[in-house]
Amino acid sequence: MYAITGVTGHVGGATARALSEAGRPFRAVVRSPGRVADAVVAGFTDRAALAAAFTGCRGAFVLLPTIADGDDAAHRAMADSIAAAVADSGVPHVVMLSSFGADLAEGTGPIRWLHHLENRLRDTGAVVTAIRSPHFQEKVEDLLGAATGAGIYPVFGESADVPVPMVATRDIGAAVAHALTHPPAASEIVDLEAPVYTERQVAEELGERLGRKLEVVTLPRPAWLGALTEAGVPPLLATELVDLYAAGEQGLLEPRGDRRHTCATTLAETLRVTPLSRTL
């Protein structure tokens, strides 16, 4: 039995599907009742409930959600609660969704909280597999409003022609499921190797699915905060995202783990089969 948090999201859901397809039993852990049948309800800040959900499992998958209006202390407290629940439960192996750049303690915006969680989990005594991911291909969902409305594809950067790896969340879920069912002897960091695209190429792929040509608009750094807040992003989160985008521009978000896991799903495949494609 494996405990899976975040089953209503992209990665947790993909992990659950991969385990189900492999015939491996799992316990779905959700934060709110009623969303998933037969699920255990345990919020990430409810140490006792989360520990109970992990108890008796061979492994657990955890992630750290972003609190839209939460400050640094709130995110670190949530990470501490997750790690404490792992320690209390005695679960022997934990797989964590992390990110490129999580080896750095500062200067990466919200990724620094993943750095904190990685280290807190290693202090629990459990074997920890940190799955560090590059950008999600599904990030195009966040830009669908601008694309379908104004016909633009905004890029938070000086150039739309910088190649960066982008991974499909179904591939992340498959990697998590494999890690859970094949636990290592000692803690390790796994970097996901994914197809590489420029933002201009992403705009072209998305435009093809929409049946219209999208105008790529690059935004210089001074415009980032205003653009995010005007789009409805809460001020605290907008500030964190500015730091995240800056870290990407500075080349700080790189794979620096113990080994690599290859992910092959292309962006075109993702656009065809995710909920995004069904809304077009």
Which residues are CB-contacts of 242 (< 8 A; sequence separation ≥ 6)? 109, 221, 224, 225, 228
- The pTM assigned to this predicted structure is 0.93
Residue 195 · residue 267 · CB < 8 Å = yes
Which residues are CB-contacts of 194 (< 8 A; sequence separation ≥ 6)? 134, 165, 166, 167, 168, 171, 263
Residue 46 · residue 32 · CB < 8 Å = no
Decide the pairing of beta strands 40-41 and 59-62: unpaired
* Average pLDDT across the chain, whole number: 93
Tokens of 145: 């409003």
Q: What are phi and psi of 94, to 5 degrees?
A: -125, 130
pLDDT at residue 117 in the model: 98
- Mean pLDDT over 201-211 rounds to 92
- Mean pLDDT over 25-37 rounds to 84
Residue 99 · residue 132 · CB < 8 Å = yes
Per-residue pLDDT of 101-124, as tens digits, reads 999 999 999 999 999 999 999 999
- Mean pLDDT over 62-84 rounds to 97
- Mean pLDDT over 33-37 rounds to 72
Query: Of the ranges 70-84, 87-101, 146-160, which one carries the lowest mean pLDDT score?
Result: 146-160
- Mean pLDDT over 79-89 rounds to 98
The residue that leads in pLDDT, 144 or 12, is 12
Query: Of the ranges 134-138, 140-144, 168-172, 240-244, which one carries the lowest mean pLDDT score?
Result: 140-144
Per-residue pLDDT of 221-238, as tens digits, reads 999 999 999 989 999 999
Q: Would the pLDDT of 278 be above 50?
A: no
Cβ neighbours of 257 (radius 10 Å): 18
What domains appear along the chain, each with residue ranges and CATH number? 2-279 (3.40.50.720)
**74 band by pLDDT with thresholds 50, 70 and 90:** very high
Residue type, 171: D
Q: What are phi and psi of 100, to 5 degrees?
A: -50, 140
- Number of residues written out for the chain: 280
Alpha carbon separation from 27 to 52, 124, 134, 227 (Å, rounded): 11, 21, 27, 40
Per-residue pLDDT of 164-186, as tens digits, reads 999 999 999 999 999 999 999 99
Which residues are CB-contacts of 165 (< 8 A; sequence separation ≥ 6)? 134, 135, 192, 193, 194, 195, 196
**279 band by pLDDT with thresholds 50, 70 and 90:** very low
Q: How many CA atoms lie within 13 A of 22 on its CB side?
A: 20
pLDDT at residue 276 in the model: 47
Sign of CA dihedral 69, 113, 263, 197: positive
